[in-house]
Chains A and B, each alone.
Chain A
Amino acid sequence: MILNEQSIAEIREKMVKYPRRKSAILPALTVAYRQIGHLNEDLYGEISKIIEIPVVEIAEAASFYTMFPKHPVGKYLIQVCHNISCALLGADGLVRYLEKKLEIRKGETTPDNLFTLITVECLGSCSTAPMMQINDRYYENLTREKVDTILDELRKQA
């Protein structure tokens, strides 16, 4: 099993709350994603066994939702919003700055597997633009100085 005991328990706990078991697919995918950092077919198989829904239905749902990466990403997944409100306040410049700092291009992962950089659509942080999400945390009103501090802190934590 790839899923650890805690994740399995969490999926079971969520599953029983719903009037119909199939509703637990998205919550189960979320639990798996939070543990592993991405989704793959082995995980669909494990989830299928836990919630007793055919694996094809798990895969069918998973492939629709772009929030879950379908291949391994770095420890820190940096998602820069490039939609209109952020773009008006320099989101493209933010991406270029991150590319320079991390020495990778958009879509790539640093050789030490620490950072993956991607752009995403509106994250609902429009009045605090430009912004980025790293794993499940938002970083808002970004400046070059703030980005430097954030990256330094994450490197220290790693």
Chain B
Amino acid sequence: MEKRVLFKHIDDPEQVTVKGYVSNGGYRAWEKALKSMKPADVIDEVKRSGLRGRGGAGFPAGLKWSFVPKGSPRPSYLICNADESEPGTCKDRELMECDPHGVIEGIAIAAYAIGSHISFIYIRGEFGGPIRAMERAIEEAYAKGYLGRNIFGSGYDLELIAHTGGGAYICGEETALLNSLEGERGMSRIRPPFPAVEGLYACPTVVNNVETLSTVPHIINNGAAWYTSMGTEKSPGTKIFSLSGHVNKPANYELELGTPLSYLINDLGGGISGGHRLKAIIPGGSSTPFLLPGQIETPLDYESLTEAGSMLGSGGVIVVHDKTCIVWVIERLIHFYRHESCGKCTPCREGTGWLEQLISRIERGEGTPGDLEKIDSICDNIMGRTICPLGDAAVMPIQSTLRLFRDEWQYHIDHKSCLVKSEFEFA
């Protein structure tokens, strides 16, 4: 069953307005936090809820907040990462477009928890609809006194600035996002120092994903115990999964963590499209290792997916049917990572270029013996050797298909053509 917490009012057209949001119970958590909780209480509640970052890395949110030094003379900043661009992921866009005040309320509570008076939402530049929705909602929130000076008469001030990006995938990585927000090229930074100590303008900064922050008001309203009653022991709560690719009913579905993948793909997604059979699943956005049809009963939670050899990632579940050439899929992905590599680290900058050349050559039917070993070697030399995870992200899907579908790769080289000819028409 779907478990709608973040999506409870997603179909209500009034939810985008402040009036509709408030009548559905909105901004009560913000009021509760400001009037009856200390920042440390908020952090504690979120820590006990077990909420983990929903952008991809899965780091515990409350713990991240607790790293911000107390009593620092420098200002601290809360940044909402709305640069959603992991291929296969389209959940933050729906949250911003349909429930923008939920995002604002989450930002406000998190900002209060870390003692921030200036917060930002970094929205990817292409997102015309979400940008307009967020800007309108921020204006309304100021007008109603949920943002600005002396909120709820508490004496607490909070500014929220909507900042739009320039179409760079890398800016979803938090240190690249910080550089981009400072007006620099969006290249990642070496950690330490971690953003919580030295982030935006070298001040303590927390960067959280849209979905993570949208969850916070619900935890404040209902308590950590309520949140941990959903999901699994180690992966509590709900998560939005973006289902795409070869399924009959692609959409965003909110599920309790621990729900089997088969339920998402077959029961909610209506099964594989075109009467075909399942070939592979990319479970957590394009950067995560592939799963095979035999793994369809894997529970969708952080631990189970890791155990299955993949990752929960951003929750972008991409389904691939059996009339699909796996080399073609990987060529599409490596083209993307080569394009999006920021160029700072040599292994990623050069390596993704070499991988694209080699893989395109194989896909064109010009592969030569030894190519697969070359790909293996380049992957090994990128993995774990770059400042940010983009290098790893480029390599993980390739390595997994070389392991799971090596025969198909080899066939492509030996026969100069696909073992399975990709069949998808634009109708």
A contact residues vs B (CB 8 Å cutoff)? 17-20, 22-27, 29-30, 53, 57, 60-61, 63-68, 82-85, 87-94, 96-97, 120-130, 133, 136-138, 142-144
- Judged by a CB distance under 8 angstroms, whether B143 is at the interface is no
Q: Closest CB-CB distance, B394 to chain A, in whole Å? A: 13
Complex CA–CA separation, A142 to B427 (angstroms) = 9
Given contacts A64-B168, A64-B186, A85-B318, contact A125 B426 (CB under 8 A): no
The 8 A-B pairs of least Cβ separation, nearest first, read A65-B166, A93-B426, A67-B167, A90-B426, A136-B128, A22-B183, A126-B244, A25-B183
Q: Given A22-B183, A121-B336, A122-B85, are A128 and B250 also a contact pair (CB < 8 Å)?
A: yes
Which residues of A are found within 8 Å of B169, using beta-carbon distances? 121-122
Determine whether B360 belongs to the interface, using a CB cutoff of 8 Å to chain A. no
Question: Do residues B185 and A64 form an inter-chain contact, with CB atoms below 8 A?
Answer: yes
Give complex CA distance A94, B424 in Å: 11
Kindly list chain A residues whose C-beta atoms are within 8 Å of the C-beta of B426: 90-94, 96-97, 130, 142-144
Q: Name the residue on B nearest A17 (C-beta).
A: B161
Residue A84 contacts which of B185, B286, B427 (CB distance < 8 angstroms)?
A: B286
0 or 1 for each of B85-97: is its CB under 8 Å from A? (1 = yes): 1111110110000
Tell whether, in the assembled complex, residue B166 and residue A89 are in contact, meaning their CB atoms are under 8 Å apart: no
Known interface pairs A67-B125, A121-B87. Does A84 touch B333 (Cβ–Cβ under 8 Å)?
Answer: yes
Any A CB within 8 A of the CB of B201? yes
For the complex, what is the distance from the CA of A125 to the CA of B126, rounded to whole Å? 11
A145–B216 Cα distance when bound, in Å, is: 43
The 15 sampled A-B contact pairs (Cβ below 8 Å) are: A19-B75, A24-B183, A26-B165, A26-B166, A60-B184, A67-B125, A67-B126, A83-B332, A84-B282, A90-B426, A124-B85, A125-B90, A125-B93, A127-B251, A127-B252
Residue-wise interface mask of B (329-362) relative to A, using a CB-CB cutoff of 8 A (1 in contact, 0 not): 1001100100110100000000000000000000
B318 touches A126 (CB 8 A): yes
Residue B223, interface by CB 8 Å = no
Question: Which of chain A's residues have a CB closer than 8 A to the CB of B124?
Answer: 124
Report the bound CA distance from A64 to B339 in whole Å.
11
What chain B residues lie within 8 Å of A23 (beta carbons)?
163, 181-183
Which A residues are CB-close (under 8 A) to B185? 60-61, 63-64
Tell whether, in the assembled complex, residue A90 and residue B424 are in contact, meaning their CB atoms are under 8 Å apart: yes
Chain B residues whose C-beta falls within 8 Å of the C-beta of A57 in the assembled complex: 183
Per the bound structure, the CA–CA distance linking A97 and B87 in Å amounts to: 23
Whose C-beta in chain B lies nearest to the C-beta of A145?
Answer: B427
List, in ascending order, chain B residues with CB within 8 A of A82's CB: 332
B126 to chain A, nearest CB (A): 5
- CA–CA, A63 to B184, complex, Å? 11
What residues on A are CB-neighbors of B333 within 8 Å? 84
Judge whether B128 and A137 touch: CB under 8 Å.
Answer: yes
| Residues of chain A with a CB closer than 8 A to B90's CB | 124-128
Bitwise, B184-205 to A at CB < 8 A (1) or not (0) is 1110000000000000010000
Instruction: Name the A residues within 8 Å of B129 (CB-CB).
Output: 137-138
Asked whether A90 and B425 contact (CB < 8 A) given A23-B163, A27-B164, the answer is: yes
Chain A residues positioned under 8 Å from B329 (CB to CB): 84
Q: Tell me if B156 is interfacial: C-beta within 8 Å of chain A.
A: no
The docked-state distance in angstroms from the alpha carbon of A8 to that of B335 is: 38
Min distance, Cβ B421 to any Cβ of chain A, angstroms: 13
Determine whether the beta carbon of B424 is less than 8 Å from that of A88.
yes
For B427, the chain A residues whose CB sits under 8 A away are: 90, 143-144
Distance from B273 Cβ to chain A, minimum over Cβ atoms (Å) = 9
In the assembled complex, the Cα of A123 lies from the Cα of B92 at a distance in Å of: 12
Known A-B contacts A94-B426, A126-B250, A127-B244; A26 and B183 likewise in contact (beta carbons under 8 Å)? yes
B289 on the A face (CB < 8 A): no
A6 vs chain B, min Cβ distance (A): 16
- Enumerate chain A residues within 8 angstroms of B246, measured Cβ to Cβ: 88-89
CB contacts (< 8 Å) of B165 on chain A: these are: 26, 65, 67
Known contacts A19-B201, A26-B180, A126-B316: A89-B424 contact under CB 8 Å: yes
Taking a contact as CB atoms under 8 Å apart, the answer to whether B118 and A124 are in contact is no
Task: Kindly list chain B residues whose C-beta atoms are within 8 Å of the C-beta of A127.
Answer: 90, 242-244, 250-252
Chain A residue at minimal CB-CB distance from B203: A19
Q: Could you tell me the distance in whole angstroms from the C-beta of B77 to the nearest C-beta in chain A? A: 9
